[in-house]
C-alpha cells in the first residue's frame, strides 16, 4: 500500500467511526479512486498537491465528460479528505481552500401527486407478512420524510407511541425527532405486535424493519423492495426513497406548512437546502392557474 492509498484508507475508516452512511463512504471511495489515479499518472504525491494541481485535476474530470453535479461531489469529497489530512498534520496547507463548487443547473425534485401516492400505498398486500412490512415502510417514508439511511436505522426503542414521534439519527450523527399521524400509528402497532415477530424468525435484534431472513433491512434492500412494488403495480413512474422524501416536503408546503418547520423535520442544516421545495410548490401553483383560469392560456 503506497502513501496515497494509506491516507485514503485512514480517511474512509475515520468516516466509518463517525457513523457516516455507507452510501457516502462508497461514493467517497469511488471519487478518491479517480483522484488517486490522477496523482499516479502525474507522478504527484499528496504532500505536493497545491491549488494549481487541484485545478488541473478538475480539468481532467471535465475532460472525462463528468456532469457538474458529479464534479461538485468530487470537490466535496476532496474538501473532506484534505480537512482530514490537515487535522492529522499530514499536510500544512489546504489546496481546497479556494476551490469553488461549479454552479449547478437547478433541477426541481421529483415528487408524487396525491393520486399517484394513493395508488402506491395500496399496492402492498397487507395479508402477507412482507406486504404488511412494505406498507409500514412506505407509510413511514411518506409520513416522516426520513432519509433511507435513517429509515433502516430506526429501532423499536426510538418510537414514542404516546407522542407519535420517532427519534432518528441524521447526517453527521445529528439527532432529531420526526412526527407521524394516526394512519402510521395503526400500521406500526399491528406490525410490531403481529408481523415483526413472524419476520424475526426467533432471532434477536431491535431494528424496526426486517427482511425475509429476520435481519435488519438495508438501504439496498429498501430500493429493491420499491422496484418490486413498481413492477407489481405496473406503475409508469420511477420511485426512489428520495422521491418519497421530496413528496413529503412538497405536500407539507402545498398544505400551508412554513419553510422553517419543514427544514427541521427534514433535518436540513441550511434553510437554503429546503427552499428548493418552494420552487416545486410555486410551479405546481402555476400549473393549476394556467389550467383553471379562463384567460391564463390560449385554448
The β-bridge relationship of strands 175-179 and 159-160 is unpaired
Question: CA separation (Å) from 17 to 11, 37, 149, 171?
Answer: 10, 26, 16, 13
Is residue 106 included in any domain, yes or no? no
Q: Are residues 131 and 279 in the same domain?
A: yes
Q: Are residues 9 and 145 in the same domain?
A: no
pLDDT given for residue 253 in this prediction: 84
Do 244 and 134 form a contact (C-beta atoms < 8 A)?
no
Question: CA separation (Å) from 215 to 127, 220, 294?
Answer: 21, 13, 57
CA angle 12/15/21 to nearest 5° reads 110
Q: Are residues 64 and 152 in the same domain?
A: no
**Selection from 3, 262, 22, 108 nearest residue 12 by Cα:** 22
| Residue ranges for the chain with pLDDT beneath 70 | 1, 103-108, 279-289, 292-293, 295-299
Is residue 299 included in any domain, yes or no? no
Do 39 and 46 form a contact (C-beta atoms < 8 A)?
yes
Q: Are residues 284 and 175 in the same domain?
A: yes
What is the rounded distance in angstroms from the CA atom of residue 243 to the CA atom of residue 45? 41
**CATH number, residue 177:** 1.10.443.10
Q: Are residues 140 and 55 in the same domain?
A: no
Q: DSSP letters of 155-186?
A: BGGGEETTTTEEEEE-GGG-EEEEE--HHHHH
For residue 12, how many C-alpha atoms fall within 13 Å in the half-sphere facing its CB? Answer: 18
Overall number of domains in the chain: 2
> Which residues, including other chains, have CB under 8 Å from residue 186's CB and lie 6 or more apart?
none
Is residue 34 included in any domain, yes or no? yes
Full residue range of the structural domain in which residue 74 is found = 3-87
Q: Are residues 119 and 74 in the same domain?
A: no
pLDDT given for residue 68 in this prediction: 81
Sheet holding 159-160, edge to edge: 159-160, 165-169, 175-179
Torsion of CA 225, 231, 237, 241, to 10 degrees: 0
- Summarize pLDDT for 40-75 with one digit per residue, the tens: 999 998 988 999 999 999 999 988 888 888 888 899
Beta-strand runs (E) in 164-269? 165-169, 175-179
State the CB neighbour count (10 A cutoff) for residue 59.
9
Q: DSSP letters of 79-128?
A: HHHHHHHHHTTS-SS-TTTTPPPPPPPP-PPP---HHHHHHHHT-S-TTS
Beta-strand runs (E) in the chain? 159-160, 165-169, 175-179
Is residue 62 included in any domain, yes or no? yes
**CATH number, residue 22:** 1.10.150.130
- Active-site residues, by number, are 147, 171, 242, 245, 268, 277
Q: Are residues 183 and 232 in the same domain?
A: yes
**Selection from 230, 258, 195, 201 nearest residue 123 by Cα:** 230
Strand, coil or helix: what is 261? helix
- Summarize pLDDT for 160-196 with one digit per residue, the tens: 999 999 999 888 778 999 999 999 999 999 999 999 9
Question: CA separation (Å) from 81 to 44, 140, 237, 247, 266?
Answer: 16, 34, 37, 33, 26
Is residue 92 included in any domain, yes or no? no
Q: Are residues 68 and 129 in the same domain?
A: no
Number of DSSP helices (H) and strands (E) in the chain, helices first: 14, 3
Q: DSSP letters of 266-299?
A: HT-SSHHHHTHHHHHHHHHHHHHHHHH-TTTS--
Is residue 42 included in any domain, yes or no? yes
Q: Are residues 72 and 122 in the same domain?
A: no
Q: Are residues 51 and 183 in the same domain?
A: no
Q: Are residues 184 and 253 in the same domain?
A: yes
Amino acid at each position: 500500500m503506497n502513501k496515497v492509498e494509506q491516507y485514503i484508507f485512514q480517511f474512509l475508516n475515520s468516516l466509518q467511526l463517525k457513523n457516516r452512511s455507507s452510501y457516502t463512504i462508497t461514493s467517497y471511495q469511488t471519487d478518491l479512486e479517480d483522484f488517486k489515479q490522477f496523482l499516479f499518472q502525474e507522478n504527484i504525491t499528496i504532500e505536493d498537491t497545491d491549488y494549481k494541481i487541484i485545478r488541473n485535476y478538475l480539468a481532467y474530470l471535465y475532460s472525462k465528460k463528468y456532469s457538474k453535479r458529479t464534479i461538485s461531489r468530487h470537490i466535496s469529497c476532496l474538501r473532506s479528505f484534505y480537512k482530514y489530512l490537515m487535522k492529522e498534520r499530514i499536510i500544512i496547507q489546504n489546496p481546497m481552500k479556494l476551490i469553488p463548487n461549479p454552479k449547478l443547473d437547478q433541477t426541481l425534485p421529483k415528487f408524487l401527486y396525491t393520486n399517484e401516492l394513493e395508488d402506491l400505498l395500496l399496492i402492498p398486500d397487507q395479508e402477507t407478512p412482507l406486504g404488511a412490512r412494505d406498507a409500514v415502510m412506505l407509510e413511514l417514508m411518506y409520513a416522516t420524510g426520513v432519509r433511507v439511511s435513517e429509515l433502516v436505522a430506526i429501532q423499536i426503542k426510538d418510537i414514542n407511541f404516546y407522542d407519535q414521534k420517532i427519534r432518528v439519527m441524521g447526517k453527521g450523527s445529528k439527532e432529531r425527532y420526526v412526527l407521524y399521524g394516526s394512519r402510521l400509528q395503526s400500521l406500526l402497532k399491528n406490525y410490531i405486535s403481529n408481523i415483526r415477530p413472524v419476520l424475526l424468525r426467533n432471532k434477536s435484534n431491535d431494528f424496526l424493519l426486517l427482511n425475509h431472513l429476520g435481519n435488519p433491512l438495508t438501504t439496498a434492500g429498501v430500493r429493491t423492495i420499491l422496484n418490486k412494488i413498481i413492477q407489481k403495480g405496473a406503475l409508469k413512474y420511477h420511485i426512489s426513497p428520495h422521491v418519497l422524501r421530496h413528496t413529503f416536503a412538497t405536500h407539507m408546503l402545498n398544505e400551508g406548512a412554513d419553510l422553517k418547520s419543514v427544514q427541521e423535520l427534514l433535518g436540513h442544516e441550511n434553510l437554503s437546502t429546503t427552499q428548493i421545495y418552494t420552487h416545486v410548490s410555486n410551479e405546481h401553483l402555476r400549473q393549476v392557474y394556467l389550467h383553471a383560469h379562463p384567460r391564463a392560456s390560449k385554448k
